Amino acid sequence: SGVGKSTLINVLLGYERQREKAISGHVGKGQHTTTARELIPLSGGALLIDTPGMRELQLWGDETTLHGTFEEIEALAQECRFSDCQHESEPGCAVKQAIADGELDANRFESYRKLQRELEYLEQRQHHSAEYLQKQKWMQKQKWMRLMKGK
């Protein structure tokens, strides 16, 4: 939010179409100007979406996403000596051996690990959210039962 998306659109268009506000002297960031999503055609046929600022972009996926994106690592993992290999320092790790032999790029493996961590974090957040909602339901039921008991 307030990072200059509207200004960038005006520069890409070559004229001022989107309203802009000055940088705030207090926080040193731009002020919110976009209030609704808009599809803007650019020269050359490109389309640009101007959208109000977002607090975060979040990854959505699961194990299937991980396996489908990194099929070669999943195939190598099937050849590891241990079925629960973490591909760190276990003996007989086919993934680490492929990196050492130059068959698998270490950066590719690091991207795999990063996506794996992000998916684990997402799953954990979703689980905690579900637990919280369930707890709220039970608290409401207990409150209602106490009220009914008192009558």
Q: How confident is the model at residue 49 (pLDDT cuts 50, 70, 90)?
A: confident
- Report yes or no: 93 and 109 within 8 Å, Cβ to Cβ: no
pLDDT (0 to 100) of residue 77: 95
Q: What is the mean pLDDT of the chain?
A: 81
Tell me, what CATH number does 65's domain have?
1.10.40.50
Q: How confident is the model at residue 86 (pLDDT cuts 50, 70, 90)?
A: very high
Assigned domain for 31 exists: yes
Domain hosting residue 99, numbered range? 58-125
Q: Is 105 helix (H, G, I), strand (E, B) or coil?
A: coil
Same domain, 21 and 68: no
Based on the structure, what is the number of domains in the chain? 2
Q: How far is CA 25 from the centre of its chain?
A: 31
Same domain, 37 and 71: no
93: burial class by Cβ within 10 Å (0-12, 13-18, 19+)?
Answer: buried
Query: Tokens 């009558």 — which residue?
Result: 151
- Report yes or no: 93 and 115 within 8 Å, Cβ to Cβ: no
Same domain, 66 and 25: no
Residue 151 has pLDDT above 70, yes or no: no
E strand or H helix that includes residue 47: strand 47-50
Q: How confident is the model at residue 90 (pLDDT cuts 50, 70, 90)?
A: very high
- Kindly report the pTM of this predicted structure: 0.49
Same domain, 68 and 102: yes
**In this predicted model, which residue has the larger pLDDT, 36 or 140?**
140
Same domain, 70 and 110: yes
* CA-closest candidate to residue 50, choices 11, 5, 16: 5
Average pLDDT over residues 26-44: 70
